[in-house]
Structure 1
Amino acid sequence: MESPAVTKFREYIRIKSVHPKPDYDSAVAFLDQYGKDIGLEVHHVEVSGGGYTNIVVIMTWKGKNPNLCSVLLHSHTDVVPVYEDQWKCDAFAAIKDENGDIYGRGTQDMKCVGIQYLEAIRRLKKEGKQFERDIHLTFMPDEEIGGICGIRPFVKTKEFADMNVGFALDEGLAHPENKYSVFYGERGLWWIRIKCEGNPGHGSRFIENTAAEKMRKIVNKMLDFREKEKLRLEANNTCLLGDVTTVNLTKLEGGLAYNIVPADLTVGFDIRIAPTINLKEFENQVATWCKEAGDGVTYSFVQKNDDQTLTPHDKSDPWWNAFSTACEEIGVELSLEVFPAGTDSKLYREAGYPAIGFSPMRNTPILLHDHNEFLNEKIFMEGIDAYCKIIPALANVPEY
C-alpha cells in the first residue's frame, strides 16, 4: 500500500507549474491546504519583478524562543519544460513503475524536497515535538528563470526581514553513489557577449581584418581554456565539477546575407567560475584576449555574478555542527561540494545568510532538467527520515 506521503508527492508533481506558463495558482492552493492540514501558520507574500507579480507561500512552526533567529526550509515550486517526445510517459502524470520509480518533471528538482519538509514536520508534530527556534518554510516561484519574480525581490521585503533567518536549507543534487551531496557554495555565473567589428565587403573577395577572423581568435582562446579545465577535472579523482570553471559558446549573432562579409559579429559565452578563481584576474584575461584579437573587439556582460560567499562547513560553526552531526547519526557519508549551477541559496548567501544545498537522494542518477526524471519512492521516504533528524538538530541550535 502506498504511503500517504508518496501520494501527496505524486499529486504535487501533477500540478503543471512548468515554464513558460507555470500554474502557480494550483500550486499555491495545494500548499495552502497542505500546511493548514499539518497545523502550520500559512501566509502569502506578493513579490513583483519582470513586469508581473507572484505569490511566495510561507509556512511557520513556532518555536519556544521567538527571540532566537529562525531556521528556513526553502524550496521552489516551478519546473523546467520537457521534450515530450523524449519521455517514456507523461511528464506530469507521476507514473510509478513496478520498481517504485516515480517519473515526472520536478521529482528531483525539487518538489521532492518541499514534500519531504512537510511530511517530516507532520511526523514531528504528531510526536508532540516543539523546538527552540521558529521554523519557516518558503515555497518560491521563478527559481528556474533566475528568481526574477521570486527570490530576488523576496529577500528585499520587510516580511523576509521579519522572519529573522539564521540559517537556510535549499536544494542540492542526487548522488549516484551511496552518499549525500552537500553544497556550501556555488560557482559564479558570467554571461559574456563579445562583439567583433571588422571590414565588410563582397563575399567573393579576400577582405582583410574581418570580424570573422577576430571572432575565431576569441573562440579559440575561450575553447582552449575550456579544454584545459576539462582536462584538469578528468585528471584529478578528487576534483568535482564545481571545482573547475566551465566555458560554453551558447550564442552566435550577425550577418546580413550569404554574399556579404559582415561588419560585425557577436559571440556569447556561458561561464561558470569556480570560487577559487580570482575574478579580477579572470576578467583581465578576457580583456587581454579581446585586445589580442584585434581592434574593434569589445566585451560586455549580460549577467555577472561576482559574489563568492561560501557557507562555513567546519565543526566550529554551530549550524554546520548541528547539520553534520545529524547526518552522522543517519549514517550516510557526505560529499562536500560546490554547486556547479545556480540555486536560490546563492541569493541568501549574498544577503548574508548561511545556506546549505541538500537533497537527500543517494544511489540515484542526477536527472534534473533531463528526460525521464524520476525518484524512487524508497529514496523519497528515506529523505523524510533524514529531515526528521536534521530539522530538530537545526531548530535546537543553542543561542550563540
Structure 2
Amino acid sequence: MVKPIWYTLLLLFLSATTAQPVPPVDAEASISRFQNYLRIKTAHPHPDYSTAVSFLDSLAKSIPNLHTRTLYPATPDKPLLLVTFPGSNPSLQSILLNSHIDSVPAEPSKWSHPPFSAVRTDDGNIFARGAQDDKCIAIQYLEAIRNIILTDPHFTPIRTVHISYVPDEEIGGLHGMAKFVESKEFKQLNVGFFLDEGQASTTDQYRVFYADRSPWNLVIKAVGMPGHGSRMFDNSAMENLMKSVEVVSKFRENQFDLVKAGVLANSEVISANLVYLKAGIPSGDGNFAMNMQPSEAEAGYDVRLPPTVDPDLLKKRIGEEWAPATRNMSYDIVEKGPLRDYMGRPLMTATNDSNPWWSVFKDAIKACGGELSKPEILSSTTDARYLRQLGIPTFGFSPMKNTPILLHDHNEYLKDSTFLEGIKIYESIIKSLSSFE
C-alpha cells in the first residue's frame, strides 16, 4: 500500500523535532586529562599509587554508568582500582581491559623536558615517563567509554566491561596482577577475554601480541683457590667464571645471528644478557686489592624464554655447559612468573578461527580504518601471562602506529594525534567486544 505524501512529511517532521544534536567530543579535554595523569609520579622505587588511584577513580566517576571499587590484593599500600561498565546480560563472560599504574624510573638530566611535566611541544609531542608505557591506554579506555556514551546515551554493552588499574607490573606484578587473579573478587568477574598493553609500531600497522617471553633471573657463581695476584694457577674463581661468560656469550651470539638473518624475530629466540659481574677483594678505600685473586665470583643474566622453548632443556644446558659443577660452578634461577597454563600448555593465545575473540578483535580494528601487522610474541613481559595461565584468551595491544618505540627510554613521548586516534580505536574495540554474543 502506497503511503500518502502527508504521512511521509509527518514522519520527517517528527524525526526532525525529536532528534537530539550530538555534542562534540572535546579532544583538548581528553589530552589535558592524559597530561594530568602523566604528572603523577608513579615511578619506582616509590610510586605514588594513592594519588594515581584517586585521580583515576574521580575520572571514572565523571562518566555515566561506570562504577568503581578499590581493592588491596596484596598490601594496603598497593591499591588496585576496578572500574565496571555493566552489561545487559551478566550471564555472559565479561571483558577485562588492563593497565598498570607504575612506571620505571627516569633520569631527569638525560631528558630534554622534565620526565613528569608532560610538556606538550608545538609539534604535538607529549613528553613524560609512562607516555607510552602505559598511561596512554589507561586514559584511552575511559575516554573511549566517555565518547561512546556521549554520542549514544542509550548504548548498553551486552557483556560487562571491566577496567583494572594494577600496581607493580614493572617489578614483576607479584603484588599486583598475580595476587588479583587469585582473589575472590577476580573470580566473580567471570572474565572471558583480556586485553593488556602492547608496544608502539614504527609502521602504519598496529601491532598485536599473542604471547610474552618469560623472564628468568640467572646468577652463575664460581669458587676457586685464592692467591697472590702474581701467581698463575688453574681453576681460579675468575678463570672459571670467565669461561662460563664466554660460553653464554657464544650461545647469545648464535641466537642473535638468527635474528640478524631474519630467520626468527627477536621475541622468538632465547636472550641471555649479562647485566652484572661481581668479584674482587675490597681494599678498604673504595677500591679493590690488586695483588689478590678472589675465591668467589659471580655473573648475573637477564634471560628471556619464548613460550615455544622447553624450559627443562634450557636448565639442562645451564647445568652442563654454562655452570658445570666440574668447574666448581653453581647457579640459581628465579623464574619471574608462570611458563605454562593450568593444563601444562605454552602461554599463547590462538590467532585463528579456533579463537572467536580473534575475529571480533581483528574486525573491530578494521571497522575504524586500522590494520594489524602479523601477530607477534612480545619480547618483554607483561601482566598478560597471569591471565594466559588461567587459559583466558589474551592479547597485548597499544594503539600507537608510526611511532618510535620509547618505553623505558629517555625522552619517552607520545604524539597528541596518536593518543586521540587511539581513543577512536578503543571505541570500536569496546563496542565490538562487549556486543559479541
Question: Which bin holds the TM-score, normalised by the shorter protein?
Answer: over 0.9
| Superposed CA offset, 1:190-245 (max 9, x none) | 11111111122111211222111211121111111111111110111x73221122
Matches within 5 A, 1:73-152: 73-126=97-150, 127=152, 128-152=154-178
State the aligned residue count: 395
| Superposed CA offset, 1:117-160 (max 9, x none) | 00111111221211211000111111111113211211111111
Q: Does 1:327 align with 2:351?
A: no
Q: Does 1:265 align with 2:297?
A: yes
**Secondary structure of 1:382 counterpart:** helix
Answer whether contact 1:254 1:262 (CA < 8 A) is retained: yes
Query: What residue in structure 2 maps to residue 315 of structure 1?
Result: 353
Query: What residue in structure 2 maps to residue 357 of structure 1?
Result: 396
Q: Does 1:228 align with 2:260?
A: no
Paired amino acid for 2:67: E
**Secondary structure of 2:327 counterpart:** coil
Distance change (3 Å), C-alpha of 1:229 and 1:164: same
Provide the rounded CA distance (Å) in 2 between the counterparts of 1:361 and 1:61: 25
Provide the rounded CA distance (Å) in 2 between the counterparts of 1:103 and 1:212: 44
Q: Does 1:379 align with 2:418?
A: yes
Deviation of 1:303 after TM superposition, in Å, equals: 3.0
Provide the rounded CA distance (Å) in 2 between the counterparts of 1:141 and 1:304: 16
**Secondary structure of 2:122 counterpart:** coil
State which of 319, 331, 336 in structure 2 corresponds to 1:299.
Answer: 331
Deviation of 1:62 after TM superposition, in Å, equals: 0.5
Answer whether contact 1:318 1:397 (CA < 8 A) is retained: no
Query: What residue in structure 2 maps to residue 289 of structure 1?
Result: 321
Provide the rounded CA distance (Å) in 2 between the counterparts of 1:57 and 1:142: 13
Provide the rounded CA distance (Å) in 1 between the counterparts of 2:329 and 2:351: 42
Paired amino acid for 1:140: V
More strand by share: 1
Paired amino acid for 2:215: L
Provide the rounded CA distance (Å) in 1 between the counterparts of 2:336 and 2:225: 30
RMSD: 1.6
Q: In structure 2, list runs of 5 or more residues that go unmatched.
A: 1-25, 282-288, 341-345
State which of 175, 179, 184 in structure 2 corresponds to 1:153.
Answer: 179
Distance change (3 Å), C-alpha of 1:197 and 1:338: same
Paired amino acid for 1:337: E
Worse-superposed segment, 166-175 or 319-328: 319-328
Deviation of 1:59 after TM superposition, in Å, equals: 0.6
Answer whether contact 2:247 2:322 (CA < 8 A) is retained: no
| Superposed CA offset, 1:89-144 (max 9, x none) | 11111111111111111110111001110011111122121121100011111111
Q: In structure 1, list runs of 5 or more residues that go unmatched.
A: none
Answer whether contact 1:214 1:294 (CA < 8 A) is retained: no
| Superposed CA offset, 1:291-333 (max 9, x none) | 6583311111133543331011113311111101111223333
**Secondary structure of 1:92 counterpart:** coil
Answer whether contact 1:172 1:357 (CA < 8 A) is retained: yes
Distance change (3 Å), C-alpha of 1:291 and 1:372: closer
| Superposed CA offset, 1:43-74 (max 9, x none) | 1111225xx63110001010011011100010
Q: Does 1:170 align with 2:196?
A: yes
Provide the rounded CA distance (Å) in 2 between the counterparts of 1:94 and 1:290: 45
Provide the rounded CA distance (Å) in 2 between the counterparts of 1:107 and 1:95: 11
Answer whether contact 2:324 2:330 (CA < 8 A) is retained: no
Greater radius of gyration (CA): 2
Paired amino acid for 2:119: I
| Superposed CA offset, 1:17-40 (max 9, x none) | 111111111111111111111021
Q: Give the TM-score normalised by structure 2.
A: 0.87
Provide the rounded CA distance (Å) in 2 between the counterparts of 1:132 and 1:156: 26
Deviation of 1:9 after TM superposition, in Å, equals: 0.5
Provide the rounded CA distance (Å) in 2 between the counterparts of 1:91 and 1:374: 9
Matches within 5 A, 1:31-46: 31-39=56-64, 40-46=66-72
Paired amino acid for 1:349: R
**Secondary structure of 1:287 counterpart:** helix
Answer whether contact 2:27 2:420 (CA < 8 A) is retained: no
Provide the rounded CA distance (Å) in 1 between the counterparts of 2:27 and 2:59: 18
Q: Give the TM-score normalised by structure 1.
A: 0.95
Percent sequence identity over aligned pairs: 40
State which of 7, 28, 31 in structure 2 corresponds to 1:3.
Answer: 28
Answer whether contact 2:216 2:304 (CA < 8 A) is retained: yes
**Secondary structure of 1:179 counterpart:** coil
State which of 239, 244, 252 in structure 1 corresponds to 2:277.
Answer: 252
Provide the rounded CA distance (Å) in 1 between the counterparts of 2:59 and 2:144: 13
State which of 28, 41, 63 in structure 2 corresponds to 1:16.
Answer: 41
Paired amino acid for 2:392: Y
Answer whether contact 1:252 1:266 (CA < 8 A) is retained: yes
Paired amino acid for 2:293: V
Paired amino acid for 1:77: I
Answer whether contact 1:290 1:298 (CA < 8 A) is retained: no
**Secondary structure of 1:3 counterpart:** helix
Paired amino acid for 2:422: G
